[in-house]
Amino acid sequence: MSVAKEFEAANANYVASFTKGDLQLPPQRKVAVVACMDARLDPARALGLEEGDAHVIRNAGGRVSDALRSVIISQQLLGTREIVIVHHTNCGMLTFTEDVIRDKIRTDLHQNADHIAFLSFRDLEQSVRDDIQILKDSPLVLDVPITGYVYEVETGKIVQVGENQ
Amino acid sequence: MSVAKEFEAANANYVASFTKGDLQLPPQRKVAVVACMDARLDPARALGLEEGDAHVIRNAGGRVSDALRSVIISQQLLGTREIVIVHHTNCGMLTFTEDVIRDKIRTDLHQNADHIAFLSFRDLEQSVRDDIQILKDSPLVLDVPITGYVYEVETGKIVQVGENQ
């Protein structure tokens, strides 16, 4: 059975007890979370989010340079006024370099992916600081509070990186 | 109080009952979900995901052209072999055009964002079909099962769009 079919079965249970049908489009808590796609991180459970609370933008590494389109839409059209970044320990992005994945794609897929910045990193805390700075430096992003965290996959805990910006 | 401080308080409760500290890096169910960042959609609750199960990639609209870097990393380095796309009713991406947001940025921020494709759409089901096709056509994406859904924010239900690919 495909995982999609399993999702449909699980969704039937969700629908049976669903009570959130009248939520508004703009996020109620006016915050956008930018987090890694990692399977072990559930931003809603780890941060106490209910349906309707927050935009949750996720990609490999939780990198903001790959989230700018979404952040701009979140702020300009849907009124969010705070950003929270969540990277995490044992991230896959720490395990490879741009050359490693480009070489793998060349070997396995016979394709050239040299035009893609895969945004891997070597220093986890620095990756959070870098991403805060990218948002601060972007003229397309509003001057709003930005807080960066490292999520510990071993403990479930979020640990702030640097001071509040 | 910033929302970030509220997240820290909620996270302390999560940590207190955390039992998932030994999960592996590769997603256990070998699936990547590409979903909209919308606040009303909680992919984990709506699809029955536990920590460790699946990559969850999210952006404005759940557009795959803005998720390709993450999908490639998910498949090439972390072994996922199925993709599920989730767009949803009442999406913000249905409410504007590229010109509207570019004009707003020009007026409010005095910046030019004409180089950004904001990936808005007019037809919800077609946006899902388009995104399935983009993945199917990409030589950088493996030939894996892809299933597209519309999530109904009014009912919590996922409704498949088209046939399984």
Instruction: Give me B113's structure tokens.
Output: 């964002």
The whole-model pTM stands at: 0.98
Contacts of A155 in chain B (CB under 8 A): 15, 18, 21
Instruction: Give me B7's structure tokens.
Output: 């997240």
Closest CA to A146 of A71, A36, A77, A59: A71
Residue A141 at interface with chain B, using a CB cutoff of 8 Å: no
H or E element in which residue A102 lies: helix A98-108
Instruction: Give me B20's structure tokens.
Output: 């998932």
Q: Tell me the ipTM for this assembly.
A: 0.97
Instruction: Give me B65's structure tokens.
Output: 């052209």
CB contact under 8 A, A69 and B119: yes
Residue A114 at interface with chain B, using a CB cutoff of 8 Å: no
Closest CA to B135 of B79, B51, B74: B74
| Tens-place pLDDT, residues A24-76 | 999 999 999 999 999 999 999 999 999 999 999 999 999 999 999 999 999 99
- B115 labeled part of a ligand binding site: no
- Kindly report the CA angle at A84 between A82 and A90, in degrees rounded to 5? 175
First and final CA of chain A: distance in angstroms?
47
| Tens-place pLDDT, residues B93-136 | 999 999 999 999 999 999 999 999 999 999 999 999 999 999 99
Residue A158 at interface with chain B, using a CB cutoff of 8 Å: yes
Residue A162, pLDDT score: 80
CB contact under 8 A, A60 and B73: yes
- B88 labeled part of a ligand binding site: yes
